[in-house]
Structure 1
Amino acid sequence: MIRIMTQSDFQRFWPTFKAVIEQQETYAFDPDMSQQAAYALWCEKVDCAYVMVEGDEILGSYYLKANAMGPSNHICNCGYMVTTQARGKGVARTLCEHSQNEAKARGYLAMQFNSVVASNQVAVQLWQRLGYQIIGTIPKAYRHPRLGFTDSHIMYKWLD
C-alpha cells in the first residue's frame, strides 16, 4: 500500500534516511542532517511525500515537487529511498510508477532527476527501463566515499 507519509511514518523511516545520507553514495544531502531538517526537506518543502507500507513495515518512500518555477513548473522532480530489507523486491519501480501517476494527476508533464550518481547502476538502469533518458552527464559532480569523483546524470521523461 502506498499512502501519504505522516510525521510518524517519517520518524519510523528516519533510520533508513539517515543510513542512506551517511553512506554518501547516492544523495547529495548533508550526512549530518538532523531528523527535523530531513523531515522538512522530504515532507514539507515538497508537493507531497508518500510511503509504501506492508502491514506495519515501511518499505520505501518518495517525494514529489516542482523542479523549477514559472515557465518550467510543468516539470517535476522526485527522490526515492528504499529500506535495506526491501531492496531488490520491486519497491523502487512501484514507487516510481506511482510517482509518475501522481505527477500527472497534479498537472506535471515531465519528470527530471537532477543528479543520478553514475555509479548507482541499479538506479540508472531501472530509470532507463521505465523510459527515462540520460540527457546530460555532469563530470565529477559527486564525491563518492570509495570511488572518488564520480559523474552524475540528469535523467528526464516526458509523462504525457
Structure 2
Amino acid sequence: MSDRTVSGPSGAAPGGELGARQAALVAALVAGAPLPAGFAPGPVRAARVALLGKRAGEVARHWPLLAAALGDAWWDTFREWAADRPTNGSLRDGWDLARTLRERGTLPPLGAEELAAREAGSRYDGRHPPRPRRLPAVARAGGAVAVQLAGRVRLLRPARR
C-alpha cells in the first residue's frame, strides 16, 4: 500500500468541497442554518417541514402524555422549539422540550407528570444520554411528584390542574 493521498480532478482531496456542501445542506434542513448557495429555497423548505413533522412524530411516540396534553398545539409548539436545534434523538428532544416548557411556565399537567416520572427514574444532564438512577429519587415538575425506589417509578401526587 502506498502512503499517497488520493486527490480528485482539481487536486483537492475527494469529498472536501462536496462534504462541506452536504454538511451545510443538512444543517439548513435540521438545525435552522442558512440555505447554502445553489439550492432552491422552495424544495428545501418543503423537506425541512417534512423532517420536522417526522421528528415531532418520533418525539410524540416517546413522550405521549406531553404530546396529548398539548393537543392541537403540539405541532406548532414542537416546530417553534425545534426550528434551530439539531436532534439529540427523540427521547432527549422530548425531555429538553418538556424542561423548556417547564421553565416558561407552560408545561401542561400531563406533561409535568410525565417529566417528573422520567426525572425520578433517570439522570439526564442535557448533554449526555439519560442513565437509570441506582438510588431512590424524588422528582417534581409542575406540582407533580414522582418517586423511584428499587427501579420502579410511582407518581405520588398529580400535577395541579
TM (norm. structure 1) is 0.31
Higher strand share: 1
Relative contact order, higher structure (CA 8 A, sep 6+): 1
TM (norm. structure 2) is 0.31
The structure with the larger Rg is 2
